[in-house]
């Protein structure tokens, strides 16, 4: 059993680290550091367990003192315990989770390295809503995709809200970030690029037969993909009905990841 340090005062200074906002957990410089810098906060036993399974290093945890989740026994960091009121105040959640845990942010690959190790990539440009990024991560991981590439303006897959929506699947979907997205993608000569767009001139997704390695590009819901990306990719679209021209980014990613999914593993 993990040694639980019970604290009854929500203003205890040891809880200060759990109250950090996203910028306090990881600065802009931290988020640009591929070697891994800064912290992220995982909420709930499933997300914490998946982070631990992925080899992320825990810094500190806060658990429900009355119902300590099993994953706490695996943590070698300080583990604090508190009742519902303490955990509600500290976490800022109306319904506090049984565990929240701070982890060091792990290192991540470059776009080229990730592409070399992947068959299917989701690429995001200017998708700045953490909930959308979390949903896209979960869609991609659940439908057999194996990598995520984001430009520097897209939301962080390790943000609290992203992780919460993704249910921790971000740890099974490696990601890369870049400030030169179009150039990096254009250099991937053996990866087919498909750009999602509502344009009626685009190829319907159900008419596309992707090769062994491909990437689907998804842009901002306000302005779509940039001209630089549309210029280097095959435009594809989801046929829509009525006056609705498109789905939101998360929903579109689910349709695209299903339509362009990798072949199912062969039964052994």
Looking at residue 260, what DSSP letter applies?
T
Asked which of 40, 75, 104 is the last residue of a domain, the reply is: 104
The pair phi, psi for residue 169, each rounded to 5°, is -70, -10
Q: Which residues of 105-134 are buried (b: 16+ CB within 10 A; e: fewer)?
A: bbebbebeebbeebbbbbbbbbbebbebbb
Residue range 14-38, pLDDT digits in tens = 999 999 999 999 999 999 999 999 9
97 and 226 both lie in a single domain: no
144 and 241 both lie in a single domain: yes
86 and 168 both lie in a single domain: no
Domain of residue 183: give its range. 111-259
C-alpha–C-alpha distance, residues 165 and 135, integer Å? 6
From edge to edge, which strands make up the β-sheet containing 120-124? 175-178, 147-151, 120-124, 214-218, 192-196, 234-237, 203-204
* pLDDT score of 245: 86
C-alpha–C-alpha distance, residues 37 and 21, integer Å? 16
Asked which of 104, 122, 147 is the last residue of a domain, the reply is: 104
Low-confidence ranges of the chain (pLDDT < 70): 1-2, 265-268
168 and 253 both lie in a single domain: yes
C-alpha–C-alpha distance, residues 188 and 183, integer Å? 9
122 and 215 both lie in a single domain: yes
Q: What is the pTM of this model?
A: 0.93
At 248, list the tokens.
């939101």
Closest CA to 109 of 167, 160, 149, 151: 149
Supply the CATH number for residue 20's domain. 3.30.1330.30
* pLDDT score of 266: 59
* pLDDT score of 268: 56
Residue range 91-136, pLDDT digits in tens = 988 889 999 999 999 999 999 999 999 999 999 999 999 999 999 9
Asked which of 60, 79, 104 is the last residue of a domain, the reply is: 104
CA–CA distances in Å: residue 157 to residues 50, 152, 242 = 14, 12, 34
265 domain-assigned: no
């Amino acid at each position: 059993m993990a040694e639980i340090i019970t604290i009854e005062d929500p203003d205890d200074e040891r809880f200060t680290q759990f109250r950090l906002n996203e910028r306090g957990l990881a600065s802009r410089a931290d988020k640009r550091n591929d070697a891994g810098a800064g912290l992220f906060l995982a909420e709930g036993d499933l997300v914490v367990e998946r982070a631990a399974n992925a080899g992320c290093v825990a810094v500190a945890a806060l658990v429900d003192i009355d119902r300590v989740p099993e994953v706490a026994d695996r943590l070698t960091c300080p583990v604090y315990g508190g009742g519902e009121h303490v955990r509600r105040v500290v976490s800022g959640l109306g319904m506090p989770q049984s565990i929240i845990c701070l982890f060091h942010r792990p290192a991540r690959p470059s776009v080229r390295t990730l592409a070399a190790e992947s068959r299917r990539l989701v690429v995001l440009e200017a998708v700045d809503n953490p909930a959308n990024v979390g949903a896209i991560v979960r869609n991609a991981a659940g439908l057999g995709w194996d990598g995520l590439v984001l430009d520097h303006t897209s939301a962080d897959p390790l943000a609290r809200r992203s992780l919460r929506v993704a249910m921790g699947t971000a740890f099974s979907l490696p990601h890369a970030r870049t400030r030169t997205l179009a150039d990096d993608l254009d250099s991937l000569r053996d990866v087919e690029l498909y750009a999602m767009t509502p344009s009626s001139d685009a190829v319907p997704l159900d008419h596309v037969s992707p090769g062994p390695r491909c990437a689907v590009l998804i842009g901002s819901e306000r302005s779509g993909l940039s001209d630089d990306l549309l210029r280097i990719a095959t435009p594809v679209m989801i046929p829509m009905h009525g006056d609705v021209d498109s789905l939101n980014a998360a929903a579109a990613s689910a349709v695209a990841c299903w339509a362009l999914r990798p072949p199912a593993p062969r039964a052994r």
